[in-house]
Amino acid sequence: MNRFSVFSRPLMTVIVLSLLLAIPTRAPEPALATTFQGVIPISGPAVPTLTSFDTAVVTFMEQNGIDAASLAITYNGVTVFVRGYGWLTKDRSVLMPPNALMRLASITKPITAATIRTLVRAGLLSYQSKVFCIGSNSSPNCLLSIPPLPGETPDARLDDITIQHLLDHRGGWDRDLTFDPLSEHIAIAAEMGVPSPPTKTQLVQYMHGWPLNYTPGSTYAYSNYGYMLLGMVIEKLMGTSYTEYIQRSIFLPLDIPATEIELGRTLPQYRNPREPWYDYPYMCPNVFNPTESVLCPDGGLYMEGRDANGGIIATSCAYARFLNAYWIDGQPKQPGINRGRYNHTGRHPGVRTLARQWSNDDSFVIMFNSDINGTGNQIDIAGFRSTMDTIYAQVSSWPTAASPVCPTEDLQPNKTFLPMSRK
């Protein structure tokens, strides 16, 4: 294969509720446009003692030319503040509701990590389990039996990759030295001679023909591909889609129904009606029809193929509830144990997200419908995080009641969870 001619210019880039627990219902549709700051409308219940957070979001949006955002804040383990900012539609005819669903981008990865760790605690998986079954010395407990393409000889070190390596971004691939296959669906399909976009299995077959950049476990290199593989492991073990499994095993026990978290869609006509437009001015080939050019968020990124590494959409309520229950690395939270501050960011064309844990019980998640400002530079999400940290330290009076925007949470202390069996 003449790979470097193809990639010389990369494209633009287990658990379930017991039968005693009823499935939660979605919260009533919240009232819109409770306030305005400047020209930007803000929807959802206002909290007088937390208006500084509104000001921070609106100021950031105005400075960067951002049209839509969703924010949720938790305090003492309760989601107390949920707001929508700006407009759902490009023509500004529909306001952004506080319960909008937005692309999570890479803050999907903590959900994937939490799911893997849940399976390990249930005894269905080991951190040392070998991921691939392709070499002559494959472990009897290996997970994914996907052969390479005909004529290709896989790197022998693929057999050594474990679940822990993938969780830690130490599988051996480095997108900065080669490419990110999750951003190269069209080029890979063309080289394989298959329709675009290729399936996840086809992507793995193709990647088996590339040597690893590092010995597994030796070097950290952020990997979307590694988390795609973790999603495939979940699907293999549990016999259901990644999205359906996280809906049932991670979010349903948190009283978040499937209406509040789902798989994102590549094309605008198939998106959830509560999902905003994504603001990005540049064009990309359509992954379903590469001869056609589309705005990159509207067909240039194959959302359905990146579920576990960045393809999920959710409300800020749903994600805030997740942050109450799990640390960013996927470990479950324990009462009274404070591990400090953690955060994870995400970015796609037209998307910028931030999940921030201030303490064991306090956190926030913000999702913007743009990742660049009017000058074409990336928006300063680290600066925004610093502003929010400062406000958090200065708040003297916090509400105690849960926001009515979020689905009702069952706070029974003796709630029972059972490992979810293979479907």
**Residue ranges in 193-329 assigned as alpha helix (H):** 200-207, 224-238, 242-246, 307-310, 316-325
Distance CA 50, CA 33 (A): 17
Residues across the chain: 423
Residue 137's pLDDT is what? 55
Amino acid, single-letter form, for residue 24: P
pLDDT in tens, 309-337: 999 999 999 999 999 999 999 999 988 88
Residue 335's pLDDT is what? 84
Residue 180's pLDDT is what? 98
Arithmetic mean of pLDDT, 122-130? 96
pLDDT in tens, 51-61: 999 999 999 99
- Does residue 209 contact residue 91 with C-beta atoms inside 8 Å? no
Q: Average per-residue pLDDT in the chain?
A: 90
Residue 31's pLDDT is what? 47
| Least confident window among 10-19, 232-241, 399-408 | 10-19
Q: Which of 69, 108, 51 is nearest to 318 (CA)?
A: 108
φ, ψ for residue 46 (rounded to 5)?
Answer: -75, 150
Neighbours of 419 (CB within 10 A): 14
Share of the chain above pLDDT 90, in %: 83
Q: Is the peptide bond before 197 cis (omega within 30 degrees of 0)?
A: yes
Q: Which residue has the higher pLDDT, 422 or 224?
A: 224
In this prediction the pTM is 0.90
pLDDT exceeds 60 at position 378? yes
